Structure 1
Amino acid sequence: MSDVTAHLKRQARDEAGRLLRWWSDNLVDTVNGGFLGEVDADGLPVADAPKSIILNTRLLWFFSAAARALKSDEALVLASRASDYLHRYFIDAGAGGVYWLLDAQGRVIDSKKQAYAQAFTVYALAEYYLASHDLIALKMAEALQDMIEARFWDSGRGGYIEALDREWRPLADPRLSEKDIDAPKTMNTHLHILEAYTSLHRAAPRQATQARLDRILTLFLDRFSHPQGHLRLFFDMDWTDRTAGVSYGHDIEASWLIWEAAQALDDDALRDRCRPVVLALAGTTLHEGLSPEGGMNYEKRFDGHFDPDGEWWEQAEALVGFVNAWHMTGEPGWLDAADRVWAYTKAQYGAGGRREWSWYAAASGREKIYTAGMWKCPYHNGRAMIELDHRLG
């Protein structure tokens, strides 16, 4: 083991433990049960903040993964807390699927069924099953995958649609967030269905999980990957491309998740198809998306707009993506890139400190955003630390 791999592995494992402690100490809701919906930019709890399915399932995933990776009984207890809250409040016992948003007391605020949220629930429950051996969690993950296939798969043209209302009817606005293009099929939702299906197939492989994972992975190769080493991001129902730019964080995140899916399927021909796509995504990210200082840029739009102020999650995904490319090729430049990103993340985002990572780099001068909430979870950075600890071993 080289000096670089040794120190990255050691620091990643230490950071996974620090992140576990911060989220354990700051997110438990002792009044209403489950976990708080938000911790503000100054690290103070927001007791009346709504609770999102995204935060709850990402907490469930992280605590489950940390329980396994760090052999932590405390993390498993917290994972069980997240699982219990999910079962009690987020699952729609009448129409099926999971709700999007609850108030602080667990009452439904937004009942829409976002495919992205159903996928994250599958992802979290599969990981929780691996940590706890809870067969109820596994059966629910399998049932939710069946529901995704029945409700969101476009049987005529292929691909998964974005969202439906509580009763599984079309929505006027299916977008995941306000910054997204109003498109019925998106790369981002497909990416998280891909990771969920990979996790479920690894946890409990069946003919159905294999066929579904193979289908969505092939869809990534055929529809979402671009010869220039980027991803196509937004589509109409008929697959008319409406992509308006490049998302460097998604490019590098997809690179290693595509490879993980191919590895889970253990198909040499499929791996051969994926390999150039994976390395092209990682290579373009390295040459276009990484700043001279070692930080990830955010995006480049086709209208000429360029945003260099990467968010915390892109730094985390770059760490895994570059280490994955190093594993695939043995070329030391990839490992050097990961080391640069890690140094930058410690200097600019507070990694290695006593708090959760900041949303933006200190040098960006951007206004501080909440420390924990719907879109600020320990999933990207916690997963990156667990992945590095494992991959560099």
Structure 2
Amino acid sequence: MRHRTVSLFDLLGHKPRIDGSWRIFLIAIAFAFVNLPTARAVDPAAENSAPQQSDYVRLAEQIESHFLGQVLPFWFPRCIDEQHGGFHPHFRSDGNPGPRNEKTIVFQARMTWVAAEVARRYPDRKAEFQAYAEHGLKFLRDVLWDSEKGGFFWGLDENGNPLPSYGTEKHLYGIAFGLYAASNVYRLTGSHDALALAQKTFRWLEEHAYDKQHGGYFEAYHRDGTPILSVPPDGANGRARPTRDLLGTPYGFKSMNSHIHILEALTELYRAWPDPQVKDRLLSIFLVVRDKIAVEPGCLNLYFTPDWRAVPDHDSFGHDVETAFLLLEAAEVLGIPDDRTTRRVAKSLVDHALEYGWDSKFGGFYDKGAAFGPPYGLEKIWWTQAEGLNALLLMHELFGQQDSRYWTAFLKQWQFIRKYQVHPQAGEWFDTVLPDGKPVEKDLGHIWKAAYHNGRALMLSASRLRHLAGLSGKE
């Protein structure tokens, strides 16, 4: 029987301003409709057969209904901070707003990017979400950008003052997300302000952060942009007792995490501003990620010396599958979408995660493990499940005619997310669930958990499924 999805907006009409307690109640109603007993996420027979156009369409509708009817209204518009600017990050485990309101570049930029992406993809929501994107850009430009020394602050209190835990130290990871957001707002609006912010962010990194000797970027910086290459003294940059940088990387080392996200940001910048210098830098970081950070049999090293000698550590399955997507996305933007080496590396990252980090019983990817051993971080974290969903469908698109396991795993991943990862009342995803799907009580929104990972994965998956069904192009 064909499943007709029902979204929250089918029930409510388009009313962006609803009191928070009523919003949670109404989202719960929408969730009940989406999960009617007669509606199956997957036909079990489809797991062992080639997908048909109707399978792609049905799943696209389910995924988009979940995104537009549950995830998006959990965040917007109630995350809009009209008093202090930017977006409110803290939502408790029951979905209600919490008191913490620090403004970090990572969260603020991610929410700005999501708002811009929704406005770009959904014409009926453009006016509302373009306003949210412009609201976010204003905060990035006027508050988080350091008007004296340049670069984005890592985090400030709600009144725009440095916090002792962060001080005025800056970091590549955060600045990359500021670049990512500004670039996407420009793609949406054509705004001079958005492009100017993206351009000066890129130029600040070129001047202060790029390692001209070994390639890649230094990652932690004093306020003036000078790289921090060893543990600074207590109180440096106003930060109390720093032992590691703001991302948790030992000072002086380079990280996989920062470099895959500056790759992501440069890809978005080059889409917005196809400047030859941007292309050169994008290509150089693309090659660093593909040829230095990614290694056989399909893992990513986490840390490196400045000259790119790997420092042993665990394998993060979520970053593996995320990087598979980011490499293929960058290759497409660089004009080499069919590059065999890139496809081989991306495929190996997903294949290794399926072999060593996949739960074949329940579905879902574990958090971490060793290159050739069983996983030992067995929790299932929201962003890993989101990136896994996106990567599995991408692998099916590229290699599905030769290998059916990507489609089978994609179906199982979506089933796991619907059954276990989604909060049944709030509609947003649990931060962490145990291997059997039991949720761990954690906040549903915090400075690391925005609408970015699951929002992007859901938007891309719905679009890719429609493309596979032959109904539309994909971006």
TM-score norm. by structure 2 comes to: 0.78
Deviations 1:130-188 (A, max 9, x none): 1122122012112211211221111111121221121223432453434x555620011
Judged with a 3 Å threshold, the aligned counterparts in structure 2 of structure 1 residues 351 and 339 are, in CA distance, closer, same or farther, namely farther
In structure 2, the residue matched to 1:43 is 95
In structure 1, the residue matched to 2:431 is 359
d(CA) in 2 for partners of 1:273, 1:376: 33
Q: 1:296 aligns with which of 365, 377, 400?
A: 365
d(CA) in 2 for partners of 1:245, 1:134: 42
One-letter amino acid matched to 1:291? D
In structure 2, the residue matched to 1:107 is 161
In structure 2, the residue matched to 1:27 is 79
d(CA) in 1 for partners of 2:355, 2:374: 18
Q: Secondary structure at the match of 1:273?
A: helix
Deviations 1:262-293 (A, max 9, x none): 1111136x812211101111111122221011
d(CA) in 2 for partners of 1:63, 1:271: 32
In structure 1, the residue matched to 2:269 is 200
Which shifted more, 211-220 or 26-35? 26-35
Would the aligned equivalents of 1:8 and 1:388 in 2 still touch at CA under 8 Å?
no
In structure 1, the residue matched to 2:281 is 212
d(CA) in 1 for partners of 2:250, 2:109: 25
Which shifted more, 189-198 or 128-137? 128-137
Indicate yes or no: 2:350 matched with 1:282: yes
| Superposition deviation, residue 364 in structure 1 | 5.5
Indicate yes or no: 2:297 matched with 1:228: yes
In structure 2, the residue matched to 1:59 is 111
d(CA) in 1 for partners of 2:178, 2:289: 21
Q: 1:88 aligns with which of 138, 142, 149?
A: 142
In structure 2, the residue matched to 1:131 is 188
Which shifted more, 298-307 or 207-216? 298-307
Matches within 5 A, 1:264-283: 264-267=333-336, 271-283=339-351
Q: Secondary structure at the match of 2:158?
A: coil
Q: 1:337 aligns with which of 401, 409, 417?
A: 409
Indicate yes or no: 2:450 matched with 1:377: yes
In structure 2, the residue matched to 1:307 is 377
| Superposition deviation, residue 353 in structure 1 | 5.9
Q: 2:419 aligns with which of 331, 334, 347?
A: 347
Would the aligned equivalents of 2:218 and 2:227 in 1 still touch at CA under 8 Å?
no
Which shifted more, 30-39 or 373-382? 30-39
Would the aligned equivalents of 1:16 and 1:66 in 2 still touch at CA under 8 Å?
no
Q: CA RMSD in A?
A: 2.1
Q: Secondary structure at the match of 2:201?
A: helix
In structure 2, the residue matched to 1:13 is 64
Would the aligned equivalents of 2:356 and 2:374 in 1 still touch at CA under 8 Å?
no
One-letter amino acid matched to 2:298? G
Would the aligned equivalents of 2:209 and 2:225 in 1 still touch at CA under 8 Å?
no
Structure with larger RCO (C-alpha < 8 A, sep 6+): 1
Q: Secondary structure at the match of 1:358?
A: coil
Residue correspondences, number: 391
In structure 1, the residue matched to 2:19 is none
Q: Secondary structure at the match of 1:35?
A: coil
Which shifted more, 90-99 or 220-229? 220-229
| Superposition deviation, residue 355 in structure 1 | 2.6
d(CA) in 2 for partners of 1:236, 1:278: 24
Q: 1:242 aligns with which of 299, 308, 311?
A: 311
In structure 1, the residue matched to 2:328 is 259
Would the aligned equivalents of 1:198 and 1:264 in 2 still touch at CA under 8 Å?
yes
In structure 1, the residue matched to 2:40 is none
Indicate yes or no: 2:461 matched with 1:388: yes
Which shifted more, 371-380 or 299-308? 299-308
Pick the structure with more helix per residue: 1
Judged with a 3 Å threshold, the aligned counterparts in structure 2 of structure 1 residues 367 and 333 are, in CA distance, closer, same or farther, namely closer
d(CA) in 1 for partners of 2:425, 2:66: 8
Q: 1:78 aligns with which of 125, 129, 132?
A: 132
Which shifted more, 161-170 or 217-226? 161-170
In structure 1, the residue matched to 2:197 is 140
d(CA) in 1 for partners of 2:367, 2:161: 35
d(CA) in 2 for partners of 1:176, 1:92: 17
Judged with a 3 Å threshold, the aligned counterparts in structure 2 of structure 1 residues 349 and 35 are, in CA distance, closer, same or farther, namely same
Q: Secondary structure at the match of 2:76?
A: helix
Which shifted more, 194-203 or 323-332? 323-332
Percent identical pairs in the alignment equals: 28
Q: Secondary structure at the match of 1:392?
A: helix
Q: Secondary structure at the match of 1:169?
A: coil
Residue segments in structure 1 that go unaligned for 5+ positions in a row: none
One-letter amino acid matched to 2:200? A
Q: 1:320 aligns with which of 375, 379, 390?
A: 390
Q: Secondary structure at the match of 1:33?
A: coil
Judged with a 3 Å threshold, the aligned counterparts in structure 2 of structure 1 residues 344 and 182 are, in CA distance, closer, same or farther, namely farther
Q: Secondary structure at the match of 1:306?
A: strand
TM-score norm. by structure 1 comes to: 0.94
| Superposition deviation, residue 42 in structure 1 | 2.7
One-letter amino acid matched to 1:66? V
Judged with a 3 Å threshold, the aligned counterparts in structure 2 of structure 1 residues 305 and 255 are, in CA distance, closer, same or farther, namely closer
Judged with a 3 Å threshold, the aligned counterparts in structure 2 of structure 1 residues 255 and 183 are, in CA distance, closer, same or farther, namely farther
Would the aligned equivalents of 1:37 and 1:52 in 2 still touch at CA under 8 Å?
no
